Structure 1
Amino acid sequence: MSTFDHIGLIKDINANLAPLRKSQPEAMQAFGQLAGAAMKDGALSAKHKELIALAIGVTQHCSGCIGFHVKALHKLDCTRAELDEMLSVCVYMGGGPALMYSAEVIKAWEDMAQK
C-alpha cells in the first residue's frame, strides 16, 4: 500500500515555491493566469479538464500534479467512478508505470476524501 503523503506534498510544494513567487512575481502570476484560462469551463467542463490534467500527471509520473489535481477534482464533485474510468485510460495508454501512479492517485483520493 502506498504511504505517499500528497496532502503534505502540496503544502511542501507551496512553501518551497514561495521564494520563487517573491523573486519572480510576473512569471508566477502569468503561470497562474494560464492555468486559470486553460481550466475554466468552456466546451469542456472544468471537471473534465481536471481529469485530463490528472491523466497527464499520471502518465508523466508527477506526484505533485497528482496531489493538486486530485484536490481540485474533489472540489469539482468528481465521482470515484469518473476517476476510476480516467485511470483505466491512463493504464491503457501508459502501461505498468501508469498503473503504479494510479495507486498514488487512489491513495491521494482516499486521503483527501477524509479531509
Structure 2
Amino acid sequence: MGKLIDDFNSYREKMNEKILAADNKVMKRIYSVDTLTYQDGALSSKTKEMLGLATSMVLRCDDCVKYHLGKCYDLGVTTAEVFEIFSVANLVGGTIVIPHTRRAVEYWEELLNQ
C-alpha cells in the first residue's frame, strides 16, 4: 500500500482502539450504528458508500472522504463513478469543496496504484 493509505489506516485503527477501550456506551453505540448504516438494505452498501463519500466531501471531512474512498474502492466503484460523485459534491458543496477534491483524487490514485 501507499504511504497515504498506510498512514491513514494505521492512525484510524490505533485511535479507534483507544476510543473503544474507554468502554463508553454512547461511543460504542455510535460506532455500531455507523456499521449498521452501511450494510445492504433497500440501498446496496456500494450505493451507501457512494452517498457517504458525497456527503463527506460536502461536509469537508478529509478523514471521512479517505475512509469512504477506501470502501468504494473495495466495493468496485470505478474512477468514472468516483468523478461523478465528485461532481455532485462540488455542485452541492460549492467551490470550497475543490481542495478536498484534490486530496481525494490523490488518495484515489494511491488506491488504484496499490
TM range (shorter): 0.7 to 0.9
Looking at structure 2, the residues matched to 53 and 103 of structure 1 have their Cα atoms a distance apart, in angstroms, of: 18
Looking at structure 1, the residues matched to 67 and 112 of structure 2 have their Cα atoms a distance apart, in angstroms, of: 14
Looking at structure 1, the residues matched to 26 and 17 of structure 2 have their Cα atoms a distance apart, in angstroms, of: 13
CA contact (8 A) 1:53 1:69 kept: yes
Dislocated runs of 4+, deviation >6 Å: none
Looking at structure 2, the residues matched to 82 and 113 of structure 1 have their Cα atoms a distance apart, in angstroms, of: 14
Deviation at 1:25, TM superposition (A): 5.4
Q: Percent identity?
A: 22
- For residue 67 of structure 1, what is the aligned residue in structure 2? 66
- For residue 37 of structure 1, what is the aligned residue in structure 2? 36
CA contact (8 A) 1:10 1:64 kept: no
1:55 is matched by which residue type in structure 2? Answer: A
Deviation at 1:95, TM superposition (A): 1.2
Q: Note the 1:18-33 alignment, pairs <5 A.
A: 18-24=17-23, 26-33=25-32
Equivalent position SS for 2:43: coil
For normalisation by structure 1, the TM-score amounts to 0.85
Structure 2 CA distance for partners of 1:57 and 1:6, relative to 1, 3 Å: farther
Q: What are the Cα deviations for residues 59-98 of structure 1, in whole angstroms up to 9, with x where unaligned?
A: 1111110111111011100011111101101111111111
Mapped pair 1:87 → 2:86? yes
Deviation at 1:42, TM superposition (A): 1.7
In structure 2, list runs of 5 or more residues that go unmatched. Answer: none
Q: 44-53 vs 13-22, which deviates more? A: 13-22
CA contact (8 A) 1:47 1:73 kept: yes
Structure 2 CA distance for partners of 1:62 and 1:6, relative to 1, 3 Å: farther
In structure 1, list runs of 5 or more residues that go unmatched. Answer: none
Pairs aligned (count): 112
Q: What are the Cα deviations for residues 19-77 of structure 1, in whole angstroms up to 9, with x where unaligned?
A: 22111254443233212221111221111110111111111111110111111011100
2:55 is matched by which residue type in structure 1? Answer: I
Looking at structure 2, the residues matched to 25 and 61 of structure 1 have their Cα atoms a distance apart, in angstroms, of: 27
- For residue 8 of structure 1, what is the aligned residue in structure 2? 7
